[in-house]
Structures are given as structure tokens and as C-alpha cells.
Structure 1
Amino acid sequence: MKNLAFPHRWRRAFTLIELLVVIAIIAILIALLLPAVQQAREAARRTQCKNNLKQLGLAMHNYHDVFKYFPHNQNRWTNGPLGADLVPQFSWLALSLPYLDQAPLYNQIDFNVNVSDGSGGTVAGNRNHNAIGVNAPLRRIVIPGFLCPSNDMQNVRTNQVHGGYRWNGASEAAGTDYVGSLGHIWGGWKDCGAVPSDQLINNALPGTLGTNGSNPGTPWVNGERVNEQVNVNGIFKYIGSTTIAECIDGTSNTVAVFENMHYRGGNGANFDYRHSDYTAWISPLAAVHNLRNPINNRNAAWMQGANDLRCEAPSSRHVGGVQALLADGSVHFLNENIDHGTRYKLAVRNDNMSVGDW
């Protein structure tokens, strides 16, 4: 039988040049697709952040339905034990917990002692701030709804030495990226520094705009005693909050809550932002801020001579601005280039000024 001969077929391999071309094409495709993937992920994170703010809005209004005012912020210094006229220090976020599906956590908090107290001990200035009591482990609990998923900074802070002493020993606390609005505070309130000359608005409105009536541009609110600071013009106050009826400009024209990263861990800030009290969701020190400084201006407070962190700027990891909850429960994006006057009008609940388009 005759053998059939079949010609050999040699498989041709890639040349080096062809291989490099294929690799280059793949690299180009990855380079084109990666930004799209990152943008899609950021869009999802931004949507989650928006949902977090909406949930806070629902909680605020449900609280208002029950108590006839928005959840109170309680921040009062004490010298020694709490007196009959003093209220323990807790944030409005802590008081909102039952309306955020966090009733079990709320029920564990001992509201008879300060958020950072529990031992009766004192630190510098005889201020009760030792966080080794019953509330200490609770303040370490991370609540995802209080954190923007775009913010990749450290969520639990251990106190660092600042000003020669350490607040609350070495206690840890979980942070918040959402703060209640104190309004638009000018110099003279706490330690917020002088009003920038390019941001003066010479309207003689008592308690607002940095005027004292006849002298535009000078502070109206002054003094260190918090019970004297009655003219804070936002939805929240240093101590307390407001009602819907007090939102004279309309709930759809007034910012209630906005993003603030607190620059946890420093993040290049000139300020020491690393106190756990200044970042913790349970602490009234961290739960309120104001809209006086330009958005995403990370060193705003320091540049204006401030030494109080409630004066820092609204901030986020979102490109171009921050998200804000209005008092009507809607969430909007505040562009970091928003006009200063518009930002002021949105911050203040009772200036009787038209906001216009923004």
C-alpha cells in the first residue's frame, strides 16, 4: 500500500514587533477604559454619599415631627462635675441615631455623662474629658451612614498631642463626614479669625453678615460664652438647633447639612486636625461647622488666623465641590466656585434674601 505523503504545515509564530504591537494595543485599551471605570465607581460612591445625606434629612424631619425642633447639638464646657443647669455634651448625630435604624446603639449611650467622660477624672483646665467610661467603646463604632465612601482617609482617630496637652487621653473615636450648618459666621464667633476683606457684605442685618449695625464688617456675635451666641444663623447652633418655622427664607433655600472631611490624619493641613473630638460623630465639636469659607479650601481657617476647627471650610473628595442637604430634605451639589454671596444666602436661614439660580 502506497504511503500518502502530507506536506508539513509550520505554524507561524508572532514576531517580536507584532507582539509589541499587540501589547501596545492592549495597553491603550486599558488606558482608555480605566478612567471610565474609575468615573463609574466615583459616580456610585457619589450616589451613596447623596443617599447618606438623604437619610440624615429624613432623620432630622422625623425627629422634628416628634420633638417639634431639629435634633439638638449640645456643646458646653464644664469646669468640674456637671451642674443642674448644664447639659452633657453630645452631637445632634448621636440624638438622631434612633431615626437612622441605630436604636440599639443609641440605647447603649449613657447620656448622663459627657460624650468623652465617664470616670470623673479631669485633664488640663479641669475639664471633664476622660473617655474611659461607658461611652468610650461606643464612640469607636464606625457608622457607614456618617461617612462619604469617596473619602479614603482614616475613619478612626487616636488623639494626638496638641497645644501641650492631649484631649481625652489616648481615646479613639470614629469620624463623620457630614456636619450640621451653623450658617455663615463672621469673625468674633469663637476663634474664626478676621473677615477676609474681599468677602465683606455691607448689609446691616443684626447677627449676620459680620455687622453690628452701624459698623459693617465688624463682628456682631462675640465672646467665649456659648449662651451669649444667640445670633448663629444656620439650622444648627453651637448649643441647640432651630425649628422649621425659624427657617424664614424657606427650607428649600437653606443648607442644613454639608460635607466636611475634617482632614482626618492631617492631610497636609497647617492645623492639627487629629483630635478624635474634632472628627467624631458622637462629639458636638465635630458635628457642626459653618459655610463662611470657600469650599474645598483646606487651609481656610489657618490662613485667617483661626484656631477653632468649626471655622474650617466645607470639603470632600468629590471633584469640584461638596454635596449638601437642604432643610427641605433635598440634596444638591455645591460647586467650589459658587459665588460667595450665594453661598452666604444658602447658609443663612433668616436673611430675607433671594438666592436665585445656583
Structure 2
Amino acid sequence: MLPANSSPLHRASGSTSKSGFTLVELLVVIAIIGVLISLILPAVQAAREAARRIHCVNNSRQLAIATSNFESATGKLPRSGIVELESRTVTANNSESTTVYFKQRKGKQFSWAVLILPYLEQQQLYDRFDFDVSVFEQEAEPQSEFLAQFACPSDHSQRSLFEDETMTLGKRFAKGNYAAFCTPYHTDLQMLYPGALVGRGQSLSRISDGSSNTLLFGEIRTRDHAQDERGAWALPWTAASLLAFDMHHDRINHRSDDPFVAYNYFAYQTQTPNTLGPNSDMLQACPDLVESQLEAMPCLDANKNGWLSAAPRSLHPGGVNVVSLDGHVEFLLDDVDEYVMAYRISVNDGHTIGTSIPEASAAATSSN
């Protein structure tokens, strides 16, 4: 017989036990999930960066092909920019020499990127440019168009614009991620110490070092700042669409009009890939100097410092993609030998040297 205070219903309800995770078990599960995520995320990010870098490599190659097609059609490589060229005659040691300076802020100021648009299947955009007036007087605003061919998806400031009431007369300029190597020295001296693209254009016959040894384009980064001109593809300005390495010419042992000879006194001050100093990108204005340094994109005001040069830059780990005149793409390491890079940019120094940098490919990309 059952006790008076016990019933089948009471016994059934009393025997039911609660189930669930203890706090310790929950913490262990969370810790395991965290470890798994920490293992998976780098692999996912690496895969995404590999895909982005392949895209950037393809863009570089397409720009080189467009440049080659331009040369085939016109007999010359595109001009680095349509600007005013100023001749100055200097007398030294009883000898006169004339130097032609590239005045990037004078003239109509169209960049090489504008000139090759028809060879990038952008004829309609090219036709919107009015070459009878300056790039700052374009009624159709073609310079404000963002172009996928000029964009590397690793750069996080895509679709940003450069605009300044004084420097651009209020016009907006779209940014991109590719610039031309115009000289191993300073941008204004590109006619004296030429790179692949210079102010008057030049035939391939003048590239005496060979097209495979001559760098054509490199990647650049942009900042999401309206007054930072870096990447403004339609402007033939330093760091906008032009790169200069800042390796000085050896004037002590050579005449100034001799082929370029690297001067070891100025080594370690050059514009190697992603350099953080001592040199900086020389801009027409350096907005927010502190923030630019925090973003690993140091800059200075060229009008206050008196020289024009800028480094190739990217968000790829360890270096930047560059493309040579013959169209082959390489990954240029941040710690590249400065003399090798200087002579790879110069077109007539007599050094037909190669480098051990492998050609960029899907396999090479996926390893980073």
C-alpha cells in the first residue's frame, strides 16, 4: 500500500530530472569554437587576398597590353602626361647643356591613363574628353569616372575622389591603383633620365636596356581623403599616376647629360615599395600628415620641399605587383635591392640586368 502522501502522479513528477549544459561545459564549447574560428579566418583571408591579387595582376597585364597596342598604332609609347615642357640652358665648366623639365602643374594636364583609354575598350569615355581645354575644364566630367581596369580590389579606398577648390578648380577626380614609372630620379627630370613613359613619348628603339628589363607600371594605394591626390588616374602628377624612384644621378664622375648612373651617396633614401621613410610621397599638398603616417602612407608637401618622387604601394603582404614593358608581371619585394630597382626603371643606363623575383602567377599568389 502506498503512503498517504504518495500518489502515482506525485511520484512521476518527482522523478523527472532537469537536463542541460553546465557553465563549465558551455565555456569549453565556446573556447573550442573560438579556436576553430581563429584557425579558419586566416585561411579565408589568405584565400580572399590571393583572389584579389590575381585580379590586380590581370589588371597590370591588361594595362601593359593597352600600352603596347598604343605604341603599335602610333609608333610611340604614350606620353606620361600632356603638360608644359620647359627648356633651361645651364653653363658649367665652360660647357653649356640644356635640360627639359616636366612641369606637371602646367599645361592641359592629361595623364597617360587618359591616352590609352581607347585600348582598354573605353572609347566612349575617351570621346567625352575635350582635349582643346585642360583636364580641369571638362564639361562632361569624364575624369570623375571610376574604372575597374584601374582598380586593385586589395585597396580599400575604391570609389574615393580627389577634389580641391584651388588645385582642381572644384572638379572631382576618380582614383585608381596604377601609376607609370617615368624616371629613376625626380618626376620633373624624366626627360633627362627617362623611364618607360616620358613627357614627349618615345619609341621602343630608345629602350636600349630591353623591354623585359624595363618597369612600366606599379601599384599604388589611395587614401579615403578628398584632398589626397594619390591615385587620381587622369592627372599626370607624382603619386597620382606617376612614380619616380629618387635615386640620384652621379654627377661627380659623369656629365649631367650622360646616361643615368646611380649615385651611392643617396642610397637608402629611395622610394622602394611601401617605404615608410626616410623619404615620403611628395604631394602637391599633404593633408593630415599624422594620419597618413598611421596608414603607412607617409607624405610631404612637394612645394615646400622641392623634389618630386613617390613609391609604389599596395596592401599585398611584402611587396607590390609591377609589370614590365614586355607585359610580364612580377611581385617586387619591399626589400628589393635599390640599385636593381633604379636600373630596372631607367631605360638607357646600359644595365640589361634581371632579378630573381619570380613572375606573378596564381600559384605564387596563393602562397602569400
TM-score by length of 1: 0.70
Contact residue 140 and residue 156 of structure 1 kept, 8 A: no
* TM-fit CA distance, 1:243: 2.2
Amino acid at match of 1:47: I
Task: State which of 23, 36, 41 in structure 1 corresponds to 2:30.
Answer: 23
Partner Cα distance (2:155, 2:318) in 1: 14
Task: State which of 217, 236, 248 in structure 1 corresponds to 2:208.
Answer: 248
Match of 1:67 in 2: 74
Contact residue 160 and residue 275 of structure 1 kept, 8 A: no
Match of 1:58 in 2: 65
Contact residue 255 and residue 347 of structure 1 kept, 8 A: yes
* TM-fit CA distance, 1:160: 4.1
Partner Cα distance (2:244, 2:143) in 1: 24
Match of 1:176 in 2: 176
Cα RMSD, aligned residues only: 2.9
TM-score by length of 2: 0.69
Distance 1:9 1:57, change over 3 A: farther
Contact residue 76 and residue 203 of structure 2 kept, 8 A: yes
| Unaligned segments of structure 2, at least 5 residues | 1-11, 86-105, 247-270, 283-298, 357-368
1:147-173 C-alpha deviation (Å, 9 max, x unpaired):
111111253324347xxxx21233211
Partner Cα distance (2:348, 2:146) in 1: 35
* TM-fit CA distance, 1:253: 0.8
Partner Cα distance (2:337, 2:61) in 1: 25
Distance 1:232 1:47, change over 3 A: same
Partner Cα distance (1:310, 1:322) in 2: 21
What is the 5 A alignment of 1:180-259?
A: 180-185=180-185, 190=188, 221=189, 230-237=191-198, 239-259=199-219
Match of 1:290 in 2: 244
Which of structures 1 and 2 has the bigger CA Rg? Answer: 2
Contact residue 256 and residue 324 of structure 1 kept, 8 A: yes
Match of 1:123 in 2: none
1:265-321 C-alpha deviation (Å, 9 max, x unpaired):
29xxxxxxx255x54211222222223312212552368984478512111111111
Match of 1:114 in 2: 134
Task: State which of 343, 346, 349 in structure 1 corresponds to 2:347.
Answer: 349
Contact residue 162 and residue 175 of structure 2 kept, 8 A: no
Amino acid at match of 1:289: L
- Report SS of the residue matched to 2:216: strand
| Unaligned segments of structure 1, at least 5 residues | 1-5, 79-85, 118-132, 191-220, 222-228, 267-273
Distance 1:144 1:304, change over 3 A: closer
Match of 1:193 in 2: none
Distance 1:58 1:11, change over 3 A: farther
Matched, 1:13 2:20: yes
What is the 5 A alignment of 1:24-43?
A: 24-43=31-50
Distance 1:108 1:257, change over 3 A: same
Match of 1:147 in 2: 151
Matched, 1:334 2:332: yes
Amino acid at match of 1:149: P
Q: How many residues align?
A: 280
- Report SS of the residue matched to 1:324: strand
Match of 1:269 in 2: none
Contact residue 158 and residue 170 of structure 1 kept, 8 A: no
